[in-house]
């Protein structure tokens, strides 16, 4: 047994299969993937990694299993899945998952191959676990899979608190102790026990406020767009294959962008925080429906058209169409007076929150500082944006 | 200048008029009034007092004034008002304010007499301040009074964070640093500057969640009802006058209840946490409108009738009709794209929150454990309650 | 099982005998005894009570037992002793223990009678525990008693961290997680396992720094002296018996002092923080050995003599002779390269710390502000103090 | 003015010259140098960088200047020096400073050239500051330079607290608020004002405990030795010049080691935490004086000899001779009864602490797990080590 000191949960006891997994390369690689990728450019203390987050998720899973009185191999499978839930992430986590998805048709939580092969596969089998079952749980399958990836998962409980600790933004500081002790199974579903409507609301609200102030901060979104564009170019123009790309660390990707001539400037800009600015930053009502509905190829086409109209180089226009925010917490099932109801049926707050997220939604077009005005004008015309909102950087 | 170590704000520098006020008896008395009165019976660490809270409010006022660039005597008036804003509280704070209001027709923030007389009046005048103007500010009058008592006041900023620190419930941990730097004056009104809709929402949400889990916890409400009933009896039956009562400390009131024969049992119950239980605990829909609308005298009549029907002593029935929750944060004015709008016009969250509070509203009837069933049945019949909700203590 | 939210340890699960003890009057009484008695006059946030401290000690004992793999009735006895270890304290804790000791010849950890009688005795016996064995453990007897009251006890682990949290002074923030996992039994003794010399040093150092800045702060010592003098007078002059006195709460004692004519002024001074000042505050070298060695009666004689010489009323002179600081942590046994050694044999820090405490030692004589100079001169002459040190209040 | 949220100091207001320096490449580079280099392999949350530390040091310098009432260009020079004090660090900070020192004969705080040239030089001159004077202050020259680099510098105040926050080890949590308000000038020297012996002791003790448990943890020392050896080889064998090396980031160095054939295995070991183990780990008494006194070349010679004797490849032996721990805090000047004395004259704790550090001193020889026994035996013989201490990994 190893006890690892964590800045959020104090000592985390790592035991059994998790202890054996600790030293495998795919797990150690997570030390080099930042939990909040580009957010550190807004909140400089946010340098925590998916490694310590994975330890935290493992720890909370372990406590939840003990509370729910689940033991044996089933519990070990959950523990392994909790610890491994993020190994499928590419460099810079969510910022490259679109690229990987499009090119490999694989989401970051599809980790069956990763878990079956190499050191991880060996460890799982040595401990009598089936890599396929662990992988299924990472995707949230089964009754216990809900604990790993579901509306009430321990992933969320850890990252909200950890991101709050490291950014200094308190909104994510949920009461995970209370959440864990509220967990119960009812008719095969994971629910929050009687008296916990506010417990559920607090998670919903915590994540929504972190979304607005941290996760979707425009500086992070701009950097993410720059990174995605440069990565695409690197993959298009170099002989780097996507599988290799998907297994890089943050530092390796930045190094590769720096080594490739066409992306070295982007690498420098990201490393030195010399970022594009918002040429357009506008509310939902100002954006035509077909623009919002545009897919990746159409977005690229928009970028080329705007660049041509503005008379700037195509790589100087980035269109960022964020899609609709999801709110999985609204489906959390809560016991109320003996009934089990989804939170959105019980709490009028859910609807307010959903509407609030719609109000906060922003569509962005980014460009280097010196050509932002031309890009703004071109974007407004080409996309049919209505009276582009005020941009206060 | 004195620097006082505070567990929430670290060092608080107390200077000028505030330093002179520190040693006056009405301010020192606040060391003996707990900030959360009976909440400590649910959250045992919540023993903090209105004294350190007053220091915190003074500190935040001072920082807000510096941010807003307000100086001179106007600023000193605000600082004094912030520091003195709670001196009007009776023993156990909000738990006795109904009694004092009914008997003296005076709210706890009407402190004109208190501030003009004695050591406090001397200090204020010695520092060139007008006690009447300080008192007006405690009531929230004037442009700067909004800072002391308004939708965006520093009182709220301190108590949310302090109550979170001392209860261990994280929901109140708002970002007061951000709030302070977002404050601005527009057309004479205190508003939150551009880009702070979530800042305002976070306060709204923080207070609502603290309401549900801390401030309106049923154990605290039961104890408050017991305390109010016993205090009423003490005032009715002894020669204690209300003015003296209103200036007692928590400990003095408990001592007086203990010394008076008819209330000694109540004092023991409160001291030893041997509390009444919920005979009725029910949602808004189950309570007839006229019951909800009943005034203090009618409530007392209900209690007598229920006791008679149940065949128990009248002091064994406590009816707790909480009134509608207020939500002053919904009127906070926020700058959005150059406009100033009240939060409820900008944020759909406000409506959701208001409805959520309505859903959380509970009407209670409390009685000693051994006669709770009889009291429940009698209350249901006499008040016409529809299918009383499940009570899980 | 009840889970109680604590501001230091988050949720504390209270179970079995501890849950049944929760509602007994001697335990509930601890809600009314402040952990740091008069320290709140220096650190205003320090209003925490021996009730939540007792919960914390219980919690740490429970974790230690689980780490040491102790179960069954022996473990229950430890848990009960941990939870009850402070029920013997008089009002204002350590500030009145000298009085109680002298009059009843009983230390606060001699609780055999208290534990055998009343509700506590019933609960213990109902759970198959022997009150006498629990009481012995409160005094630190036996192998497991060391965990409750010894050099490595959980009492210390809780109060250092709790006092740091509530005062805001960080020095007490020891790593109790590390301490708990370092505990081991060797040849029947509780020791710290291999690799934990610094763990032990950190407790030693943490307590020494808290001593200097918090526990022995002169304002707290002055108030304590005033309280002891007034309590002595109350017991001498009223019909209050010492047993009743010893079972009072902080608030009841303050109320009793206020009600008794001769001590009402002292009660007012303590309540309003209108304290005596340091007439003398001097280092060890300046105080003759026989003064340092004086017992309680001799000290009282000193006070009378100084008062007479100074021409002031006897109650205006308080002599505070603090005795030598103890340093139980220096005897902590630590495993080093297979040996078990007391910390002071292994760590040269212990000697430095002991000398540092000697350097910090101060002898005080206190008096009302307006007669402090006369009292200082008289004390210097009567006690033969050599060049009294500089007093900067 | 920019307000940057920091997880340690909350909002840091960055203004004037510091705001202009923010966006210069040498400052942004610090985002890619971890504050605790290889410590993250022991404490996984310790991923904070010299960038946020530099912001913190700037912030504390700013507060200290305001407390000391220093304004104008002198204050700006201090602020710039505080913010820039770490720009001279090579990749992995202290872990490569030996290499850089030996090859360039330059310590990391010799930054005159760096500050005079490029964007940093431009910014300094634009704000009317002399880069040379700023550089001198980074080296601690002058009365105010003591604030930036001296026994009482703000560097130490920030890193102790920040490292505690990010490792989770509480020992570094000093009271920087108290330290700042204790600063005073006496006869041109920066001292701690009257009544602050414990304040000084607490820093001394905090750093010593962090040394033992964090900064000099053997896992971090092993990794540092591996990194130094690999970097030396990279510089010896590739065409990388030392100036370029010295300006790399952590990630760039790891990438370069990975790209170079002879060091790719070391890079993999560091990245995947597949570290050498302790073959020897022994106390001062066991190491002959001439071994302790050996310089870098002699150490290399030892390594070659041990490898030959053990029959292993030379790169499989790392000798780590840590030198004597310094204790600059012992020279802190403290005002005591009107005198100014160095702490070691006033506090007997200093001597105890120095001896404690001597007791904790360890000499290490590291090797891959599978050849550790042979290396241990060879080292013992070749270096004349007396009965090598117990190694418990």
Whole-number Å distance between alpha carbons of B315 and B231: 12
> Which of B289, B283, B331, B304 has the alpha carbon at shortest distance from B156?
B331
3-class DSSP assignment, residue C107 = coil
DSSP-derived secondary structure letter, A213: I
Q: Cβ separation of C5 and B167 shorter than 8 Å? A: yes
Whole-number Å distance between alpha carbons of C349 and C342: 13
Question: Is the confidence at residue A389, as pLDDT, over 70?
Answer: no
Whole-number Å distance between alpha carbons of D177 and D194: 16
Distance from CA of D377 to the nearest CA of C (A): 19
Q: Cβ separation of D8 and A48 shorter than 8 Å? A: no
Distance from CA of D345 to the nearest CA of C (A): 11
Q: Which residues of C touch B23 (CB under 8 A)?
A: 272-274
Question: Is the confidence at residue C386, as pLDDT, over 90?
Answer: no
Chain D neighbours (≥3 Cβ pairs under 8 A) are A, B, C
Whole-number Å distance between alpha carbons of D229 and A330: 54
Whole-number Å distance between alpha carbons of D173 and C171: 7
Distance from CA of C216 to the nearest CA of D (A): 13
Confidence of residue B302 (pLDDT cuts 50, 70, 90): very high
> C211-254, pLDDT tens digit by residue?
999 999 999 999 999 999 999 999 999 999 999 999 999 999 99
How much is the mean pLDDT over chain A? 94
Confidence of residue A393 (pLDDT cuts 50, 70, 90): very low
A363-367 sheet: strands from edge to edge: A277-282, A363-367, A318-320
Whole-number Å distance between alpha carbons of A169 and B170: 13
Average pLDDT over residues C92-101: 95
| Least CB–CB distance from C198: residue in D174, D201, D212 | D212
8 Å CB contact between A55 and A41: no
Interface residue ranges in chain C relative to chain B, Cβ cutoff 8 Å: 4-8, 10, 23, 25, 28-29, 31-32, 34, 40, 43-49, 51-52, 55, 165-169, 249-252, 254-255, 271-274
Give the predicted TM-score (pTM) of the model.
Answer: 0.95
Q: What is the pLDDT of residue D327?
A: 84
8 Å CB contact between A85 and A54: yes
> A198-221, pLDDT tens digit by residue?
999 999 999 999 999 999 999 999
Q: What is the pLDDT of residue B389?
A: 44
- DSSP letters, B116-141, are HSHHHHHHHHHTT--HHHHHHHHTT-
> B195-236, pLDDT tens digit by residue?
999 999 999 999 999 999 999 999 999 999 999 999 999 999
Average pLDDT over residues A16-22: 97
- DSSP letters, A59-114, are HHHHHHHHHHT--HHHHHHHHHHHHHTTTT--TTTHHHHHHHHHHH---TT--HHH
Question: Is the confidence at residue A188, as pLDDT, over 90?
Answer: no
Distance from CA of A202 to the nearest CA of C (A): 17
Whole-number Å distance between alpha carbons of C273 and C78: 40
| Least CB–CB distance from B47: residue in C47, C251, C252 | C47
How much is the mean pLDDT over chain B? 94
> A327-386, pLDDT tens digit by residue?
888 889 999 988 999 999 999 988 888 888 888 899 999 999 999 999 999 999 999 998
Question: How far are the Cα atoms of C73, C88, C94, C136, D373 from residue C113, in angstroms, in the given order?
Answer: 21, 10, 20, 11, 61
Whole-number Å distance between alpha carbons of B150 and B139: 9
> B1-41, pLDDT tens digit by residue?
999 999 999 999 999 999 999 999 999 999 999 999 999 99
Question: Is the confidence at residue C353, as pLDDT, over 90?
Answer: no
So where are chain C's domains?
2-182
Q: What is the pLDDT of residue B392?
A: 40
Q: Cβ separation of C348 and D356 shorter than 8 Å? A: yes
| Least CB–CB distance from C7: residue in B25, B167, B272 | B167
Quick one: closest CA in D to C175, which residue? D170
Whole-number Å distance between alpha carbons of D339 and A212: 55
Distance from CA of D116 to the nearest CA of B (A): 35
Q: What is the pLDDT of residue A92?
A: 97
Q: What is the pLDDT of residue C151?
A: 87
Confidence of residue C282 (pLDDT cuts 50, 70, 90): very high
Q: Cβ separation of C181 and A3 shorter than 8 Å? A: yes
> Which of C24, C29, C16 has the alpha carbon at shortest distance from C129?
C16
DSSP alpha helices (H): ranges in D69-153? 72-84, 94-104, 112-116, 118-126, 131-138, 145-148
Question: How far are the Cα atoms of B55, B87, B246, B274, C255 from residue B91, in angstroms, in the given order?
Answer: 19, 11, 7, 21, 15
Q: How many CB pairs under 8 A join A and B?
A: 85
Whole-number Å distance between alpha carbons of A143 and B225: 44
> Which of B44, B362, B118 has the alpha carbon at shortest distance from B222?
B362
Q: Which residues of D touch B3 (CB under 8 A)?
A: 181
How much is the mean pLDDT over chain C? 94
Whole-number Å distance between alpha carbons of D188 and D145: 11
Question: How far are the Cα atoms of A208, A327, A351, B7, B203 from residue B349, in angstroms, in the given order?
Answer: 11, 14, 8, 32, 12
The residues with which A14 forms a beta bridge, in sequence order, are A2
In the CATH scheme, what is the code of domain B2-182? 1.10.3210.10
Q: Nearest 5 degrees, angle CA A70-CA A185-CA A18? A: 35
Average pLDDT over residues B46-65: 98
Q: What is the pLDDT of residue B324?
A: 74
Q: Which residues of A touch B360 (CB under 8 A)?
A: 197-198
Q: Which residues of B touch C10 (CB under 8 A)?
A: 168
The residues with which D342 forms a beta bridge, in sequence order, are D333
Q: Is ipTM over 0.90?
A: yes
What is the b/e burial string over C53-91, where b = at least 16 CB atoms within 10 angstroms of the residue's CB? bbbbbbbbbbbbbeebebeeeebbbbbbbbbbbbbbbbb
> Which of C96, C362, C92, C328 has the alpha carbon at shortest distance from C208?
C328
Q: How many residues are present in chain C?
A: 393
What is the torsion angle, in degrees rounded to the nearest 10, for the CA atoms of residue A296, residue A300, residue A305 and residue A311?
150
Q: Which residues of C touch D338 (CB under 8 A)?
A: 390
Question: Is the confidence at residue B320, as pLDDT, over 60?
Answer: yes
Average pLDDT over residues B332-337: 92
Cβ-based neighbours of D155, under 8 Å, separated by 6 or more: D57, D82, D85, D148, D149
> C7-62, pLDDT tens digit by residue?
999 999 999 999 999 999 999 999 999 999 999 999 999 999 999 999 999 999 99
Question: Is the confidence at residue A387, as pLDDT, over 80?
Answer: no
Q: Which residues of A touch D34 (CB under 8 A)?
A: 47
Phi, then psi, of D10 in degrees rounded to 5: 60, -135
> B259-278, pLDDT tens digit by residue?
999 999 999 999 999 999 99
Whole-number Å distance between alpha carbons of C366 and C222: 7
Whole-number Å distance between alpha carbons of C62 and C3: 14
Q: Which residues of D touch C194 (CB under 8 A)?
A: 392
Q: Cβ separation of C198 and D346 shorter than 8 Å? A: no
Q: Which residues of A touch D271 (CB under 8 A)?
A: 28-29, 31-32, 249
Question: Is the confidence at residue A392, as pLDDT, over 50?
Answer: no
Question: Which positions of chain D have pLDDT values less than 50?
Answer: 389-393
3-class DSSP assignment, residue A207 = helix
Phi, then psi, of A336 in degrees rounded to 5: -135, 115
Distance from CA of C258 to the nearest CA of A (A): 43
Q: Suggest the residue from C2, C4, C7, C264 to mutate for an interface test with chain B (most B CBs closer than 10 A).
A: C7
Whole-number Å distance between alpha carbons of B343 and B198: 10
Percent of chain B residues past pLDDT 90, beyond the cut: 89
Quick one: closest CA in B to D13, which residue? B181
| Least CB–CB distance from C10: residue in A3, A5, A177 | A177
DSSP-derived secondary structure letter, A34: B
8 Å CB contact between D290 and D204: no
The residues with which A341 forms a beta bridge, in sequence order, are A334
Question: Is the confidence at residue C392, as pLDDT, over 50?
Answer: no
Q: Cβ separation of C8 and B55 shorter than 8 Å? A: no
Distance from CA of C369 to the nearest CA of D (A): 21
Whole-number Å distance between alpha carbons of B316 and B276: 8
Taking residue A318's Cβ as centre, other Cβ atoms within 10 Å add up to 22
Whole-number Å distance between alpha carbons of B130 and B289: 46
Q: What is the pLDDT of residue D388?
A: 53
Whole-number Å distance between alpha carbons of C300 and A122: 78
Average pLDDT over residues A300-319: 97
């Amino acid at each position: 047994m190893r006890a690892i000191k964590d800045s959020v949960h104090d000592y985390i006891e790592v035991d059994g299969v998790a202890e054996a997994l600790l030293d495998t390369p795919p797990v150690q690689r997570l030390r080099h993937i930042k939990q909040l990728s580009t957010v550190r450019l807004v909140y400089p203390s946010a340098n925590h990694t998916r490694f310590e987050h994975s330890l935290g998720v493992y720890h909370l899973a372990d406590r939840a299993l003990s509370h729910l009185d689940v033991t044996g191999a089933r519990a070990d499978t959950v523990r392994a899945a909790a610890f491994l839930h993020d190994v499928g992430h590419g460099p810079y986590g969510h910022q490259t998952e679109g690229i990987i998805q499009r090119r490999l048709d694989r989401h970051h939580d599809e980790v069956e191959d990763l878990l079956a092969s190499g050191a991880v596969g060996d460890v799982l089998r040595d401990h009598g676990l089936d890599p396929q079952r662990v992988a299924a749980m990472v995707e949230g399958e089964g009754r216990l899979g809900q604990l790993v990836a579901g509306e009430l998962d321990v992933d969320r409980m850890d990252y909200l608190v950890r991101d709050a600790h490291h950014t200094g933004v308190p909104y994510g500081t949920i009461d995970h102790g209370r959440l864990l002790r509220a967990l119960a199974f009812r008719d095969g579903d994971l629910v929050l026990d009687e008296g916990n409507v506010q417990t559920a609301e607090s998670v919903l609200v915590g994540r929504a406020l972190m979304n607005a102030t941290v996760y979707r901060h425009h500086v992070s979104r701009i950097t993410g767009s720059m990174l995605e564009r440069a990565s695409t170019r690197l993959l298009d123009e170099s002989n780097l294959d996507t599988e290799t790309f998907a297994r890089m660390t943050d530092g390796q990707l930045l190094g590769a962008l720096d080594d490739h001539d066409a992306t070295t400037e982007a690498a420098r800009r990201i490393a030195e925080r010399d970022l594009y600015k918002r040429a357009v930053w506008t509310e939902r009502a100002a954006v035509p429906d077909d623009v919002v509905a545009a897919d990746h190829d159409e977005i690229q086409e928009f970028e080329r058209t705007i660049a041509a109209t503005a008379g700037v180089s195509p790589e100087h226009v980035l269109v960022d169409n964020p899609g609709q925010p999801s709110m999985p917490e609204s489906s959390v099932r809560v016991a109320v007076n003996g009934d089990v109801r989804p939170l959105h049926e019980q709490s009028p707050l859910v609807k307010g929150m959903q509407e609030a997220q719609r109000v906060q939604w922003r569509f962005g077009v980014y460009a280097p500082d010196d050509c932002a005005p031309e890009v703004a004008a071109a974007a407004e015309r080409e996309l049919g944006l209505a009276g582009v909102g005020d941009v206060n950087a």
